[in-house]
Structure 1
């Protein structure tokens, strides 16, 4: 089997496997928004949005606060202002604080533990602002809130002391109104016991938790609407069949945080599940000071993602955005029977004007109904064809103004879908993709080495080029026992052997493998470990193998380390510098391991500390290998190279 054909087979296998995964987890999910029921057969047209101030309530969401002992004290001061001024102005029925309430990171940002002072800061903000008396404050745990916690009963679990909710596990909160009940189901996917950073980046649900969530889902079926909320996106939750997305399919939306808008690279992370449930990741408070307002107006769900202290706050509740509509969960036909455009407008100063345009045609100024509700009479039948854009311009008495706009459709037969990247990020189970990639990479390396060792016989033709020399050098590596078996063992060990043994949790010795983490009698399935394993292969195993191949090629050309440097100094330096850079990167990983898990973990870490010592030994062996062991390869190579060619 030729090397080229072999590489094509491996690449084809990888592509086909990834395509299958993406088709299963994404391909059928980035669909257009479901069309509403046919208008003439509508069964839920009333009560339709009109000129009354009933059948409406609103709430807020805030996520990833990261109150820190060491960094950015304004996170806390701004949160206090949010709990006083913002909550006072908007007066939400409830506030969802969806995890990572505290930072729990040491000053070096890598070591992790719970700091009581951070929790005290958070609690004192809630107490001083009396926000729990003004609204229902539902604060839940995130992965940072569970760093380095041996058990829920541990004295280090400050969430049970200083939070407002102080509840673990699935929970059902019912918001009761004169026009119906609205269910809020909490998904607690945090890991218990809680490892140190980064091994709880993925959340996990066991069968018992899934059964409880299933029961709560059935119980909520009597409510007008159900919202699920949690810290993790569904793409970062590991759950048994039928999976967390299937379980929440009866909900109008799942509200979460965790991804921080990918550091600002994805300003909007929203999508829709196959059965119509919206998944709405909220940007972080930590750096971006984001929060969200959501509302149910005559059982039509709408929301807006906002920036703190940016007034006025405006939310158009009727007509709602078509992109965020679901005929499965909402009575969308009420849009057709509505009599008024409805807008929520908030500001610390009085609102002076609310101007409404549709398709850039001035429709009029909305009038104040009560509280933050503004209405403007309209005839939706005038907009029953195609889609239209509503724009609202709100100004307050201080001159501040806000412009909001979205596309709506009364007819409901336009084709829209969410952007590819947000859907891919939120709908793909990335730990599955990482697992498949990791296995494919490990198997491909083992397969290539064994194939070259037992079946591949190199016959150079003509003057060898770069590709031929690369294949030749890999062949030399595969047929030189000490290096072939070393690379095979290292690759095999990263796949199956323990990476390190140390205090995964303070006082609790654990063991880390590619396929999971074992600590204090608990085994957590591999997730982030596969990502780390892929990084380890591409920054250690492959660079080390490439450097050994290059060294053996030079040895076959008759060079030693000293003659090689003298003869081709300018060409030699970049190769050695690149290898040194990868080695320094590995040493940096050793330092991070030491900072995160202590000296014990570094001492008992075959894939970090031990490998840092083994790599220079292998390199030295390559440069000092007896010429007799390379004679056959050297003869083959020199027969195709001129005497002066190196």
Structure 2
């Protein structure tokens, strides 16, 4: 039951959130856009998972009420909207559909931000999320509202990649946006993963390589998308982004998709070993992955800054902000030195020790004083140094950047989590604001960051590989359940071993062996004795492995007919009726795992249990008859009617088997059948809400077979026991 509970929680998460085919949207050569900035420090703003909904208009209204004032104070170089712009769900969240009114909320909110001169529209870059592709048969379909109302579409950015470069005096900060949504927008719950094609991977690698060959300054690369790497499927040739990002020296990959309920510090350092180069040294590639929580419930926003190639970020929640611009809270982002928990890179070969402290201060009030303090955690966080910071005024436009020189050599060879830095700001009205205290290392050492088991499971495990393991583990278990006892039955009956083995193990074996080995083996042997049911279960398992579970409209109601297999969806489009494409692997795990673990496997086990219970009832009946025979006044020469059992059956059969045929076992088995039936009906009702009542109801393998198996087993055993034993079930 613990295993079943675990998988029910996992499947609920997957369907609530949160391929092997060439299912992703294709990507050609991206158009490149350039923006100038002064100095070596630039910053951008990221928002993700807006989930604008017709049933929650406050989410769209807060774009103007909260986000717009923040952008006016921060004045970022770019605004990145990383997917799930609309919710695309009905009011009960039981089905997915595109609603143009939700897209109009987004368009009106962005137009208001641009209209109030908070940000130029050409500095806004938005990409699709899986919710934005729900039910969209293909890009350009009349349900593809992203191609109509998004900022990218209004500016004719129709490629699935956005290449943006911030060009400074001596450096280039390159941002590459990737749309990895599935090519055919299958409806919920089969649309959870990103699906890059091999062509997309080639285009991404080519674009990242392009900037390595450009003269004129150092390049820092940041990639943004919607899906975390753990929720991005491999391409047809089993290629992935991680190797490309590490090999092309990407500093960070920023994304969304996983909401803040899982955690607000979903950070991961990818370290990938590459084969030895010409010099015989093994190369280790690294990049950071930072997932941003959702705007939907927490109104989260990220400020990401690059200071001389060092990338840092700060996530802030705007839900506590007031409506008025003058009430925007002072925000402090330390750009150097970076946070050693989530921004440094481990095992840096030749770390460059910079003798400066930089901090961005965003405030609606003039700033009077900025001070940085260094604390020593080994001495009860005693202040070891205090450094005043001065505004940087050498640029054409005023920057909220404050700078100071210090002697960083004093802090070399320190553990990564010993020294902590905090910046204090006093504005013109005398109000003091302090940044969060954070550890730092002038040598780029990496500090330990604690994480929870749930965060590790969701963020650090490749769900594509985990799905293969969970699926084939279950199938292998069912194969053993079906064939192992059948083979043992055949061998024992052929060699007349079963009777002798049962006698010997019950008479001479220790009690411990009686309690565990014999009852388990007896359960398997007796449960598999019905040839008709056994053959039916074998055929059903083979059908689930190779044949479609159900057929219907996987995208919109007018889209192509699709068939769902254990390996994904096979889609036949109206434009190409003779061409079928496989999509949605491993997205269908949200359907297959709950069905296999919570319905099919328990059904097989219960069928075995019902037949084993029948055998227990027979033994119970024989025990009663034998007791009556022993106390009968008839002589030993009189025969017992209806075939008395062998003499050893009463003396050696385990009491566990006798109890298994009793009153409470019968009730427990029937209750278990009822629970499995209710779980099965619940799964079917979810699928009916998602893909229609008819396709699911008219699919025998999915909707009928488990219920028919249980009903037939109960009915067959009831007749057998009533007729043969006169013991009612």
TM exceeding 0.5: yes
Does the aligned pair in 2 maintain the 1:92–1:135 contact within 8 Å?
no
Q: Secondary structure at the match of 2:554?
A: strand
CA distance in 2, matches of 1:450, 1:503: 37
Cα deviations across residues 330-355 of structure 1 (Å, max 9, x unaligned)?
99844x232x3111121334445434
CA distance in 2, matches of 1:409, 1:469: 62
Partner of 1:372 in structure 2?
400
Does the aligned pair in 2 maintain the 1:312–1:395 contact within 8 Å?
no
CA distance in 1, matches of 2:239, 2:516: 51
Partner of 1:447 in structure 2?
480
Answer yes or no: is 1:319 the counterpart of 2:299.
no
Answer yes or no: is 1:593 the counterpart of 2:687.
yes
CA distance in 2, matches of 1:435, 1:537: 13
Cα deviations across residues 231-261 of structure 1 (Å, max 9, x unaligned)?
0111111233442111222211111011114
Q: CA deviation at 1:541?
A: 1.6
Pick from 375, 389, 392 the counterpart of residue 420 of structure 2.
389
In structure 1, the gaps of 5 or more residues are 1-51, 632-642
CA distance in 2, matches of 1:414, 1:122: 40
Answer yes or no: is 1:235 the counterpart of 2:230.
yes
Pick from 59, 64, 70 the counterpart of residue 44 of structure 2.
59
Evaluate the alpha carbon distance shift between residue 575 and residue 287 of structure 1 in structure 2; reply closer, same or farther with a 3 A threshold: farther
Q: CA deviation at 1:474?
A: 2.2
Q: CA deviation at 1:547?
A: 2.1
Answer yes or no: is 1:300 the counterpart of 2:313.
no
CA distance in 1, matches of 2:162, 2:347: 21
Evaluate the alpha carbon distance shift between residue 168 and residue 605 of structure 1 in structure 2; reply closer, same or farther with a 3 A threshold: farther
Answer yes or no: is 1:510 the counterpart of 2:562.
yes
Evaluate the alpha carbon distance shift between residue 351 and residue 78 of structure 1 in structure 2; reply closer, same or farther with a 3 A threshold: farther
Answer yes or no: is 1:432 the counterpart of 2:423.
no
Q: Secondary structure at the match of 1:210?
A: helix
TM-score normalised by the chain length of structure 1: 0.82
Cα deviations across residues 154-199 of structure 1 (Å, max 9, x unaligned)?
1110001111012342231222233332221122110122111122
Cα deviations across residues 81-130 of structure 1 (Å, max 9, x unaligned)?
24420100110000111000000011221211110000001000111221
CA distance in 1, matches of 2:599, 2:135: 29
Answer yes or no: is 1:345 the counterpart of 2:361.
yes
CA distance in 1, matches of 2:234, 2:446: 35
In structure 2, the gaps of 5 or more residues are 1-36, 272-284, 322-328, 376-381, 394-398, 493-497, 574-579, 625-657
CA distance in 2, matches of 1:439, 1:531: 15
Evaluate the alpha carbon distance shift between residue 76 and residue 169 of structure 1 in structure 2; reply closer, same or farther with a 3 A threshold: same
Cα deviations across residues 37-59 of structure 1 (Å, max 9, x unaligned)?
xxxxxxxxxxxxxxx98211111
Evaluate the alpha carbon distance shift between residue 225 and residue 364 of structure 1 in structure 2; reply closer, same or farther with a 3 A threshold: closer
CA distance in 1, matches of 2:677, 2:344: 53
- The farther-off stretch of 181-190 and 604-613 is 604-613
Evaluate the alpha carbon distance shift between residue 178 and residue 365 of structure 1 in structure 2; reply closer, same or farther with a 3 A threshold: closer
Q: CA deviation at 1:418?
A: 7.2
Evaluate the alpha carbon distance shift between residue 588 and residue 628 of structure 1 in structure 2; reply closer, same or farther with a 3 A threshold: closer
Evaluate the alpha carbon distance shift between residue 400 and residue 284 of structure 1 in structure 2; reply closer, same or farther with a 3 A threshold: farther
Alignment of 1:37-436 (within 5 A): 54-70=39-55, 72-130=56-114, 131-133=118-120, 136-166=123-153, 167-221=158-212, 222=214, 224-240=219-235, 241-249=238-246, 250=248, 251-261=250-260, 264-274=261-271, 275-308=285-318, 309=320, 311-325=329-343, 333-334=351-352, 336-338=353-355, 340-359=356-375, 360-361=382-383, 363-370=386-393, 371-387=399-415, 388-394=419-425, 396=427, 397=429, 399=431, 401-412=433-444, 416=448, 419=451, 421=453, 422=455, 425-436=458-469
Does the aligned pair in 2 maintain the 1:175–1:182 contact within 8 Å?
yes
Q: Secondary structure at the match of 2:437?
A: strand
Answer yes or no: is 1:602 the counterpart of 2:696.
yes
Q: CA deviation at 1:622?
A: 4.1
- The farther-off stretch of 161-170 and 394-403 is 394-403
CA distance in 1, matches of 2:67, 2:77: 13
Does the aligned pair in 1 maintain the 2:39–2:168 contact within 8 Å?
no
CA distance in 2, matches of 1:515, 1:127: 43
CA distance in 2, matches of 1:420, 1:58: 30
Q: CA deviation at 1:525?
A: 5.2
CA distance in 2, matches of 1:398, 1:541: 67
Q: CA deviation at 1:446?
A: 0.8
Q: Secondary structure at the match of 1:238?
A: coil
Q: CA deviation at 1:416?
A: 4.5
Q: Secondary structure at the match of 1:337?
A: coil
Q: Secondary structure at the match of 2:152?
A: coil
CA distance in 2, matches of 1:441, 1:382: 58
Q: CA deviation at 1:68?
A: 0.5
Q: Secondary structure at the match of 1:65?
A: coil
Does the aligned pair in 1 maintain the 2:190–2:588 contact within 8 Å?
yes
Answer yes or no: is 1:528 the counterpart of 2:587.
yes
Does the aligned pair in 2 maintain the 1:143–1:190 contact within 8 Å?
yes
Partner of 1:48 in structure 2?
none
Does the aligned pair in 1 maintain the 2:193–2:227 contact within 8 Å?
yes
TM-score normalised by the chain length of structure 2: 0.73
Partner of 2:549 in structure 1?
499
Partner of 1:544 in structure 2?
603
Q: Secondary structure at the match of 2:120?
A: helix
Q: CA deviation at 1:60?
A: 0.8
Q: Secondary structure at the match of 2:338?
A: coil
Does the aligned pair in 1 maintain the 2:134–2:188 contact within 8 Å?
yes
Cα deviations across residues 424-449 of structure 1 (Å, max 9, x unaligned)?
54343211221122112202211232
Length, aligned pairs only = 574
Evaluate the alpha carbon distance shift between residue 453 and residue 630 of structure 1 in structure 2; reply closer, same or farther with a 3 A threshold: farther
Partner of 1:38 in structure 2?
none
Does the aligned pair in 2 maintain the 1:498–1:606 contact within 8 Å?
no
CA distance in 1, matches of 2:724, 2:448: 64
Partner of 2:670 in structure 1?
576
Cα deviations across residues 21-47 of structure 1 (Å, max 9, x unaligned)?
xxxxxxxxxxxxxxxxxxxxxxxxxxx
CA distance in 1, matches of 2:39, 2:308: 8
Cα deviations across residues 62-85 of structure 1 (Å, max 9, x unaligned)?
100000012x32211222224420
Q: Which has the larger radius of gyration?
A: 2
